[in-house]
Amino acid sequence: MRTLSTARFVGTSFCIIVFFSALVMPLHSQTLIPLYIKKGTNLIHLAGEYCHSKTNWREIARINKLKPPYLIREKSTLQIPLALLRVKNLTARVALTKDTVSLLQGEKTLGTVQNNDQLHPGQTLETDADGYAYIVFPDNKFTRVAPKSKLTLNYLLRLADGDLKTELLLTKGKIRHLIKQKLRRNETFRTRTPVAVTGVRGTDFRIKVSEDGSNTVETLSGTVQLSASGNAVALHQGEGSRVVEGMAPLTPRLLPASPQSISLLPVYKSLPVVFSLPAQEKIVSYRVVITADEEGNEPLLEKLVPAGKDAEIANLTDGKYYCSVTAIDTEKYESLPAGPYPLVVRTVPGAPFFSSPKDKAISWEDSMTITWLESDGAVAYQYELAADKEFTRILSSGQTKESSYTATALKPATYFFKVRAVAADGFTSLDSFPLSWQVLEQKAVEMSAPAEDGSLTIQWASAGKSATYDFQIATDTSFQEVVFSRQGLTEPACTIKQYLEPGDYAMRIRFALEDGQYTPWMPSQKMTIEAGPVGLEHIVLVVSFFILILL
283-313 pLDDT per residue, tens: 999 999 999 999 876 778 889 999 999 999 9
Q: Taking 50 as the threshold, does the pLDDT of residue 433 lie above it?
A: yes
Q: Taking 90 as the threshold, does the pLDDT of residue 418 lie above it?
A: yes
**Burial track 232-266 (b if 16+ CB lie within 10 A, e otherwise):** bbbbebbbbbbbbeeebbbebeebbbbbeebebee
Percent of the chain at pLDDT > 70 equals: 89
Q: For strand 196-200 and strand 15-20, is the pairing parallel, antiparallel, or unpaired?
A: antiparallel
Instruction: In the chain, list all ranges with CATH 2.60.40.10.
Output: 273-345, 354-439, 445-545
Q: Taking 50 as the threshold, does the pLDDT of residue 1 lie above it?
A: no
Q: For strand 188-193 and strand 164-179, is the pairing parallel, antiparallel, or unpaired?
A: parallel
Which residue stretches of 51-97 are H helix?
57-63
pLDDT recorded at residue 161: 92
pLDDT recorded at residue 8: 32
- 237-259: average pLDDT: 90
- 335-356: average pLDDT: 95
pLDDT recorded at residue 297: 67
Which pLDDT band holds residue 262 (cuts at 50, 70, 90)?
A: very high
CATH H superfamily, domain 445-545: Immunoglobulins (2.60.40.10)
Q: Taking 50 as the threshold, does the pLDDT of residue 544 lie above it?
A: no
CB 237 within 8 A of CB 310: no
- 162-174: average pLDDT: 92
- 159-164: average pLDDT: 93
Q: Cα dist. 491→284, 453, 464, 473 in Å?
A: 63, 22, 10, 18
State which of 62-66, 440-444, 496-500 shows the largest mean pLDDT. Answer: 62-66
Percent of the chain at pLDDT > 90 equals: 54
Any idea what the Cα angle at residue 191 is, between residues 4 and 105, rounded to 5°?
170
How buried is residue 51: exposed, middle or buried, by Cβ count under 10 Å (0-12/13-18/19+)? buried
Considering only the C-alpha atoms of the chain, give the largest distance between any 2 of them, rounded to a whole number of Å: 150
**For the ranges 34-48, 394-408, 439-453, 499-513, which has the lowest average pLDDT?**
439-453
pLDDT recorded at residue 528: 83
pLDDT recorded at residue 96: 83
pLDDT recorded at residue 93: 94
Query: Higher-confidence residue: 503 or 403?
Result: 403
CATH code for the structural domain at 354-439: 2.60.40.10
pLDDT recorded at residue 449: 72
CB 370 within 8 A of CB 361: no
- CATH architecture for the domain at 273-345: Sandwich (2.60)
- 23-50: average pLDDT: 77
State which of 126-140, 326-340, 438-452 shows the largest mean pLDDT. Answer: 326-340
3-state secondary structure of 364: coil
pLDDT recorded at residue 199: 66
pLDDT recorded at residue 18: 38
C-alpha 300/C-alpha 289 separation (Å) is 8
- 161-169: average pLDDT: 93
Any idea what the Cα angle at residue 477 is, between residues 459 and 410, rounded to 5°?
70
Helix (H) / strand (E) containing 312: strand 311-313
Q: Taking 70 as the threshold, does the pLDDT of residue 91 lie above it?
A: yes
**Burial track 292-318 (b if 16+ CB lie within 10 A, e otherwise):** eeeebebbbbbeebebeeebebeebee
Sign of the CA dihedral with 211 first, then 216, 218, and 222 last? positive
- 206-227: average pLDDT: 82
Residues 6 or more apart whose Cβ sits within 8 Å of residue 218? 205, 206, 208, 235, 239, 240, 255, 333, 334
The mean pLDDT value of the chain amounts to 85
Q: Taking 60 as the threshold, does the pLDDT of residue 50 lie above it?
A: yes
